[in-house]
A and B are shown apart, each in its own frame.
Chain A
Amino acid sequence: SAVISQKPSRDICQRGTSLTIQCQVDSQVTMMFWYRQQPGQSLTLIATANQGSEATYESGFVIDKFPISRPNLTFSTLTVSNMSPEDSSIYLCSVAVGGQEGEQYFGPGTRLTVT
């Protein structure tokens, strides 16, 4: 298993500003992911955070809006840039353990409200 922490746990931000969310894992993992969960909705994968290379973004998500860093195998950041109220969501960090057959573990999430 893996224990994941995220900072901040919640924030209220003004439109047009940016917020950086940190994700820390208690062990080295190859695969890290960032998800978004909009109010009352399911989880949508934003990107896969690759250590030592650029993140791999899903359709509908771009690096300029959601830049991601992955400096080592235990840490990643997601920045939500130039925020608008539509960015109000819970942002979740996740890691995959055990390869293709393994489950993913999730952080507690960052609840973002943009006013």
Chain B
Amino acid sequence: AQSVAQPEDQVNVAEGNPLTVKCTYSVSGNPYLFWYVQYPNRGLQFLLKYITGDNLVKGSYGFEAEFNKSQTSFHLKKPSALVSDSALYFCAVRDKGGATNKLIFGTGTLLAVQP
């Protein structure tokens, strides 16, 4: 069965500092990996995805993520955090060889950026 783990419930970072939100995955085959962001009282927004190719994926709002097959990780990063980045971040995985297109979500990480 496929799954993702987000080991940190909350990440605190000062504005202007780099940020990392961690995600590890488990699938039987090759993964498709996604990051979503949820701002307060709003729906989920797609940030970026890894399908194949370059391990470093660039997405919306200056975010990027690095796919590491040996460590089965897909950590979300940003070089310089903004207060407006404060939100709930979800990692998700889809099994490339799966019979359906369903996404499995991690438990979420609350990012708090202090001014």
Contact = CB atoms under 8 A, between A and B. Distances in A.
Interface of B: 32, 34, 36, 42-46, 49, 51, 90, 94, 96, 98, 100-108
Contacts of B32: 100-101
B106 A42 contact: yes
Given A48-B102, A109-B43, A100 B96 contact: yes
A51 B45 CA distance: 25
A33 interface: yes
A42 B43 contact: no
Contact of B43 (A31, A100, A107): A107
Interface of A: 4, 31, 33, 41-43, 45, 48, 56, 92, 96, 99-109
A31 B101 contact: yes
Given A33-B102, A92-B43, A42 B96 contact: no
A56 B106 CA distance: 21
For the complex of A and B, list the 9 residue pairs with the smallest distance between their C-beta atoms, beginning with the closest: A106-B44, A108-B43, A43-B105, A96-B101, A106-B43, A42-B107, A103-B46, A101-B51, A42-B105
Given A56-B100, A92-B43, A104-B34, 13 more contacts: A31-B100, A41-B107, A42-B105, A42-B107, A43-B44, A43-B105, A48-B102, A102-B101, A103-B49, A104-B101, A106-B43, A106-B44, A108-B43
